Structure 1
């Protein structure tokens, strides 16, 4: 994309927002529609679906956008809260940069379900590390394997961005990642599987034994995308 095309697209975005926020009633309508959409995405990320249970506890997650591909990889110990908040953006910066309306898919991995597939020595190491440190270690390993752009830079107080050298990181996750090689491999395999899953027909979520994929982009084609919740079960 040329600089001129980029500036034109940016001005069109600003113009569209000006139209959508033309008066107080339109602002309220905009607020309602955005929250309804974010709420639907959060529900699909956390609530039970088919044979898939409610998503709780430690997970890894990643957000993909059409064109840009994988944007961000994160982890949480409280999936039931954090994943609901992820598209709303009240305590997470992602939705402020990449709005959920343009998310192509969100991959969620319930990594504790993979621990039994590791050697006993590694299972003991996971137990010794604890869920918090292990989650950080898996997050670092996945970021190293996938290089998501929003994890590859950090904001500076001068108003610009500084590259992050993940390979030289001294964070807790980076320091412990090498201690769980098999679990990291299993996690990456599960990630690759879910990252390539197709949207299942008239639904916006698919689940397997270790996680799920939610397709926010599919919600635009399903009943309910007029600012109101869709029917249960999508």
Structure 2
């Protein structure tokens, strides 16, 4: 898309929003509709599905958008809270940049379930440094491997963006990620399996032991009716 086409698309986006927010009643409808959709996505990410297992505790997650592909990779120790908020955007920036209505899929890995298959020395290290630092290490590994655009830059006070060299980071996660090659390989394998899962015909969720994939794109048409 050239700059002229991009600017025209931006003007159409603003004009569409102006129509949707043309008076107070439309604003209320907009607020209700958007929250209803975001709430449904958050519920699918966290609540028990057919297997009866809720998503809670430490997880890695990634958000893919229609067209742009993988946008963001993160981790949390409180999936039951963080993943509910992810599409709402009250404490997470992602939904402010990429509306959940445009999310193609959200991949969630219950990475502690991979620990029993990791080498003994890595299990001992994970116990020593704790699940929080271990989650940061796996997040860093996955970010370096996949290079999501919204993790690859940081905002500056001057109003622009600064590239982040994730591979040269000296954060706690980056330092410890080099000490967990076995767990890292298990995580990448789980990521590949979940990120390539096919959307089911009559559901918006694929749930397996190591994680879950939610397809917000499958909800969009039904939520709009």
- TM > 0.5: yes
* Equivalent residues of 2:119, 2:183 under 8 A apart: no
Shift, 1:225, TM fit: 3.2
The answer as to 2:54 corresponding to 1:54 is yes
Task: Find the aligned partners of 1:11 and 1:130 in 2 and give their Cα distance.
Answer: 49
Task: Find the aligned partners of 1:190 and 1:171 in 2 and give their Cα distance.
Answer: 24
Shift, 1:221, TM fit: 3.4
Deviations 1:20-77 (A, max 9, x none): 0000000000000000000000000000110150000000000000111000000000
How high is the TM-score relative to the length of structure 1? 0.95
The match for 2:97 is: 97
Q: Deviation above 6 Å: which 4+ runs of structure 1? A: none
* Equivalent residues of 1:52, 1:207 under 8 A apart: no
Shift, 1:209, TM fit: 1.2
The match for 2:86 is: 86
Task: Find the aligned partners of 1:217 and 1:45 in 2 and give their Cα distance.
Answer: 14
Task: Find the aligned partners of 1:48 and 1:199 in 2 and give their Cα distance.
Answer: 18
Counterpart secondary structure, 2:106? strand
The match for 2:111 is: 111
Shift, 1:220, TM fit: 1.8
Unaligned runs of 5+ in 2: none
The match for 1:30 is: 30
Shift, 1:203, TM fit: 0.6
The match for 1:66 is: 66
How high is the TM-score relative to the length of structure 2? 0.98
Is the alpha carbon distance of 1:99 and 1:82 closer, same or farther for their aligned partners in structure 2, counting shifts above 3 Å?
Answer: same
Task: Find the aligned partners of 1:53 and 1:221 in 2 and give their Cα distance.
Answer: 27
The match for 1:225 is: 224
* Equivalent residues of 2:45, 2:84 under 8 A apart: yes
* Equivalent residues of 1:52, 1:208 under 8 A apart: no
Shift, 1:103, TM fit: 0.2
Counterpart secondary structure, 2:224? coil
Shift, 1:136, TM fit: 0.3
Counterpart secondary structure, 1:51? coil
Aligned residue pairs total 225
* Equivalent residues of 1:60, 1:135 under 8 A apart: yes
